[in-house]
Structure 1
Amino acid sequence: MALFFVYDAQAQSLNKTKFGKGLQFVAEDSSFSLKFGIRFQTLYQGVHTRGTKGWDDRFLIRRARLKFDGFAFTPRLVYKIELGLSNSDIGAGGGGDISQTNDADNIILDAVAKYQLTPTLWVWVGQTKLPGNRERVISSQKLQFVDRSLLNAQINLDRDAGFQLRHEHALGTVLLREMASISMGEGRDITVNNAGGYDYTGRVEILPLGEFKGDGDYVGGDIEREETPKLALAVSYDFNNNASRSRGQLGSFLSGQRNLSTWFADAMFKYKGFSAMGEYADRKVPNGTPVISYKPDGTVDETFVTGKALNLQAGYLLPSDWELAGRYSIFDPTAVTGIGAQKQYTAGVSKYIVDHSLKVQSDLTLIKEQGRNDRIQFRMQMDIAL
């Protein structure tokens, strides 16, 4: 990077930029561009379990990212590369290795090229997020709370390698989007041969009141303070043929495979500082059981995570750029999996200093999980993106 920044000034020019927008360069002959950005999150987390006197806490770097994007040869061909450096980013917090029996560790989050075939049709090739539930597609930099919800923790599609088609068109003031993808199904940066079948995803979105400011339908909170009501509605379906990992693109590799069928429905509403988002997820193993094996005592040893989940959240951004928000999440797993049902009630307070590029967020959560004592979780996080 040091060599890059001292590169001959005659070969490229530095564009005007500002906090949170990264360093931007354009070649003198306009044959390519590059925007480089960094961001990290410092997190304090403490948990108290009912019936105990202890307070289990930790301080860590939740995320640390390097981001590169721009266009290559023509503005119709754009690219994005994002690297994760923290243990939480690469999955190395548990000390696992890169094998078919452990979680896959890697630093490559996104490496995708996007080509504009027509004014309304794009093809994406590479590794990036699948068009699944809205909360997962929202960047971790632009969340309304310290982190994503219980629904997303148990049921999401995450990143995968393959290709996507994305189409957008307007019918009067109504905006419609259609997305489809075919991917490997095992998650990000898997280097072994495809363990099962492929993953197929489709998503349809409708924005009946027109487009949000600043792509606000994929930003937590009403940072833009929409002057007129804005609404986004969407439904997604995913079929992972012969999935190998317990949560599709995430989780441990299991000794057996199953077909996973997942439905998502979500909505986002914003108006004058008020925002509300709701999501529903339903994952099952069609015509089969998600359990792979049992222990000698009859309890579940290996299983895919299936069931239903709901997340509802809302917040209001005050004129002082403080935001108050609340969230309710529930996960109802398939009974045969032996996973405990869970509910979470969360209250959050955020201070946006430079929108989502410099902010401090905190939240307090009551966790009620089947078979365990209630827990209280407190988190505080600073997010810096340059």
Structure 2
Amino acid sequence: MKKFLLLIAFFISMSSFAQDVKFSTKDNDIKLASLPYYNYGRGLGLTSPDSIFQFNIRFRMQNRMTYLQDDEGEEAFEGQIRRLRLRFDGYVGNPKFLYAIQLSFAPGDVGPVQDGENINIIRDAVLFYRPNKHWSVAFGQTKLPGNRQRVNSSGALELTDRSINNARFNIDRDFGWQGFFLNEKKDKFSYNLKTAVSTGNGRNVTKNPDDGFALTGKVELFPLGAFTKDGTNFEGDIVREQKPKLLLSGVFHRNVKARLTQGQLGAELYEKKTMESVFVDAMVKYNGWAFMSAYMNRTSNDPIAVNPDDATQFNYVYVGHGMDYQLSYIFLNKLEVIGRFSNQKVNDDIYMFTPNSKVYTLGLTKYIWEHAFKLQTEVTYDELSYFNGDVKNNWFVRFQIEIGI
């Protein structure tokens, strides 16, 4: 507890030393370090005549249809609203004091409704103090400074979903404090530093308090200068970088006495476990070409959790590692071709319970209004390798429309 309070005091004290500057709000767009949503246009906003407050509203939705075939040849069709979200942001009293709210309504976002549990409508509810363009401190629930693809909005993806490694290893949203020092320059070496102290329990948790916590630290390096129009926050080189741009980033995350199988996500463990995650990302963009690669890893000294009331029942921390490789090119007519390969290996401790995976995806995206209005289609083939030597293959074809403001 003492360390927690000291770290909070550090964030606040560092902010107090930052230079006091005024911010322009004429573009009606709030840029927040932990909320790198892709914006095309300005949404719908209101600013009071005396400029005491600003309120901005955006929405987006993803509608998709999928044809699936499993290893045994069984066919299925699936149609769903994958995401339906409302976002509100602005400031109160002064542009240095900001807020951001994001609500989700699609079944895939909310998740199954369980007796005695919360409905997971709230995704983000966070306050910021931003004394200048370099420093900011956040308090509330939002994304942790994790791996690149997860931190990006799902509306700014080239393919219809993130990789299987993101699904298994990402650290997602949490409640707590975050601190940022941003130092991006157009054509010079730049860097960002991001930290978080959070509960480690994920979003919308109302269960009994405990002594668990999570610590996160992230470094982002821009050897060739910052990307055009915050290009690290969306996939694909839709702005066609005139000079090569490179991002290198690394994250370390430690979740002490976690309750869930994936830290902030997953099923509840029979006993609390401490786990650590490491993420390394690289992104290159130039003249319509974009390449991304990512390494993700989760470890735990004792990943198996046994039911104290029934020794025959158990579950486990999803431990292992994976690599993603993604390459794309966008033509002048805004048609983009994307290829992705993901390889995931679980640790030996849990291999007998869950398979290793390889996933191959080929996609085609047509941008109408950049990422805010686009048509996406993809073919995905996966290979599952089991402990007993069995290998299973599944594939699907998907079409999706994304639209938002």
TM-score exceeds 0.5: yes
- Alpha-carbon offset, residue 280 of structure 1: 0.3
Aligned partner of 1:96 among 109, 114, 117: 114
TM-score when normalising by structure 1 = 0.89
- Return 5+ residue gaps in structure 1 as ranges: 1-13
The 5-angstrom pairing of residues 247-286 of structure 1 reads: 247-285=262-300
Output the aligned Cα RMSD: 2.2
The yes-or-no answer on 1:23 pairing with 2:36 is no
CA contact (8 A) 1:325 1:347 kept: yes
The yes-or-no answer on 1:76 pairing with 2:96 is yes
Residue 164 of structure 1 is matched in structure 2 by 178
CA contact (8 A) 2:270 2:314 kept: no
- The 2-side partners of 1:370 and 1:75 are apart by 53
- Alpha-carbon offset, residue 110 of structure 1: 0.6
- Alpha-carbon offset, residue 16 of structure 1: 8.7
Residue 166 of structure 2 is matched in structure 1 by 152
CA contact (8 A) 1:326 1:347 kept: yes
Kindly provide the CA deviation profile for residues 146-175 of structure 1, in whole angstroms up to 9, marking residues without a partner as x.
000011011001000101010023688111
Quick one: which amino acid aligns to residue 134 of structure 1? R
- The 2-side partners of 1:261 and 1:58 are apart by 36
CA contact (8 A) 2:271 2:307 kept: no
The yes-or-no answer on 1:218 pairing with 2:237 is no
Instruction: Specify whether residues 339 and 319 from structure 1 end up closer, same or farther in structure 2 by C-alpha distance, changes over 3 A only.
Output: same
The yes-or-no answer on 1:126 pairing with 2:132 is no
Classify the secondary structure of the residue corresponding to 1:352. strand
CA contact (8 A) 2:28 2:42 kept: no
- The 2-side partners of 1:37 and 1:294 are apart by 45
- Alpha-carbon offset, residue 268 of structure 1: 1.0
Instruction: Specify whether residues 97 and 40 from structure 1 end up closer, same or farther in structure 2 by C-alpha distance, changes over 3 A only.
Output: farther
- Alpha-carbon offset, residue 194 of structure 1: 3.1
Residue 23 of structure 2 is matched in structure 1 by none
- Alpha-carbon offset, residue 299 of structure 1: 8.8
- The 1-side partners of 2:223 and 2:404 are apart by 32
- The runs of at least 4 aligned residues of structure 1 exceeding 6 Å deviation read 14-19
Report % sequence identity: 34
- The 1-side partners of 2:227 and 2:27 are apart by 26
Instruction: Specify whether residues 289 and 323 from structure 1 end up closer, same or farther in structure 2 by C-alpha distance, changes over 3 A only.
Output: same
- Return 5+ residue gaps in structure 2 as ranges: 1-25, 30-38
Aligned partner of 1:190 among 193, 205, 209: 205
Instruction: Specify whether residues 352 and 119 from structure 1 end up closer, same or farther in structure 2 by C-alpha distance, changes over 3 A only.
Output: closer
Classify the secondary structure of the residue corresponding to 1:152. helix
- The 2-side partners of 1:348 and 1:279 are apart by 19
The yes-or-no answer on 1:373 pairing with 2:387 is no
The yes-or-no answer on 1:242 pairing with 2:257 is yes
Classify the secondary structure of the residue corresponding to 2:379. strand
Quick one: which amino acid aligns to residue 365 of structure 1? T
The answer to which of 197-206 and 328-337 deviates more is: 328-337
Classify the secondary structure of the residue corresponding to 2:230. helix
How many residue pairs get aligned? The number is 363
CA contact (8 A) 1:15 1:25 kept: no
Quick one: which amino acid aligns to residue 270 of structure 1? K
TM-score when normalising by structure 2 = 0.85
- Alpha-carbon offset, residue 50 of structure 1: 3.0
Quick one: which amino acid aligns to residue 144 of structure 1? E
Kindly provide the CA deviation profile for residues 242-289 of structure 1, in whole angstroms up to 9, marking residues without a partner as x.
01101100011111011011110001111111101111011101xx22
Classify the secondary structure of the residue corresponding to 1:151. helix
- The 2-side partners of 1:16 and 1:374 are apart by 48
Kindly provide the CA deviation profile for residues 172-207 of structure 1, in whole angstroms up to 9, marking residues without a partner as x.
811111111000101011112334510100000110
- Alpha-carbon offset, residue 376 of structure 1: 1.0
Kindly provide the CA deviation profile for residues 209-231 of structure 1, in whole angstroms up to 9, marking residues without a partner as x.
11111111120111111111111
Residue 3 of structure 1 is matched in structure 2 by none
Instruction: Specify whether residues 97 and 311 from structure 1 end up closer, same or farther in structure 2 by C-alpha distance, changes over 3 A only.
Output: farther
Aligned partner of 2:130 among 108, 111, 116: 116
Residue 319 of structure 2 is matched in structure 1 by 306
